[in-house]
Amino acid sequence: MINRDRLAETFMTLSSIDSVSRKEAKISDEIRKKLTPFADEILTDNAGEKAGSDTGNLIARIKGNRDVSSLMLNAHMDTVQPGVGVKPQFNNGVFTSDGTTILGADDKSAIAIILETLQILHENNLPYGPLEIVITICEEIGLLGAKNLDFKLLTAKYGFALDTADTECIVTRAPAANRFEFKVHGKDAHAGADPENGINAILLASQAISGLTLGRIDAETTCNIGVIEARGATNIVPNLVRIQGEVRSHDETKLENVTRKIVDAFENVVSDYRKEFETGELPRVEIDIESEFNRTFIPDDHPVVVLAQQAAENLDRQVITKKTGGGSDANVFFGKGIVTGVIGTGMKEIHSVRESIRIDDMEKTVRLLLEIIDVHSNGNASS
């Protein structure tokens, strides 16, 4: 039933349309056009206004022909840089870019797979229940599309996001994350003539960072500092430095404990300096902690897992549950009460100019998705 040439053509078309985060209007128009023959209703929400994009999330409702609960299918339409001027190549069953940009298999392979699945359901009059297709914007820059999605538009209580590599797994556990930013304020002075009158903000930030544990803290928890930024000149004692990073953990208590230790490290450094040198209000630190996303924890007996594993068994395949260190739209959906497992499309070396995907893996995911929808249409895994 799968039309391999059509699947390839759809993916090539989508990957040829530039859609870096906040510039998704053109790809959204193309997806809407391709959804129109199957959807009973297609909506664009106002998430773009909140996320700073030129369009919003696409939500397509398809009534189906079986009286079962709604099933959500999710992908995201935006890509990372370098993502302008993508020229997809297809050789020996493998899609790549021309080597100067990313390919966009993350996550346009998912969109192509969903579209091919819908086409097959439509042209073969197969059994399927109500489907809610949610294609988000700005996933790559903090899940902003999902975070600003109008969830009143959805009725599904569970579903699948197609946004990982492994076609033999379903991601059921993903960490929560906190993003942090510290601005350490010191005092400027001439670095050669009057350094004693300055307070070096970079030095203070470095002292705070030196006492931290970064990287993998334990099996459930990681911490990273990714940005240290200061502006000035070599002959000026720097009076401001900005530090950005994140903490992730599958254990929410550990997440908060590690975040607190980082905050304490910066607060103690500036406090100790003020006490030792009696400098008054300087140095000081501004602290901004933001919850990036909630954790995902799906029990093995949840309908999402049962559906995926039963469908795989019907295809003489195996789908195992998996824990990941990354976040996706699924984290946001889970936090809003829509339990969302993440399944793979086969994409490799994403976010690089070496990104690739095999048509065979995309076909494999279409088959799994068709079987999931068939099992769901029978009500075998409804909650």
**What does the DSSP assignment read for 355-377?**
-EEEHHHHHHHHHHHHHHHHHHH
Catalytic residue status for 139: yes
Give how far Cα 121 sits from Cα of 65, 73, 115, 128, 314, Å. Answer: 10, 14, 10, 8, 18
Catalytic residue status for 107: no
Would you say 58 and 43 are in contact if contact means Cβ atoms under 8 Å apart?
A: yes
Q: What are phi and psi of 111, to 5 degrees?
A: -65, -45
Which residues 6+ apart lie within 8 Å of 297 measured at CB? 172, 173, 250
- Catalytic choice (24, 30, 45, 78): 78
The conformational region for residue 17 under phi > 0 = left, psi -120 to 50 = alpha, else beta, is beta
Q: Give the max Cα distance, the chain.
A: 82
Q: Which residues pair with 358 in a beta bridge?
A: 94
- Catalytic choice (45, 139, 329, 363): 139
Cα angle 358, 359, 365 (rounded to 5 degrees) comes to 100
Would you say 364 and 184 are in contact if contact means Cβ atoms under 8 Å apart?
A: no
Report the C-alpha gap between 9 and 99 in whole angstroms.
20
Q: Which residues are catalytic?
A: 78, 139
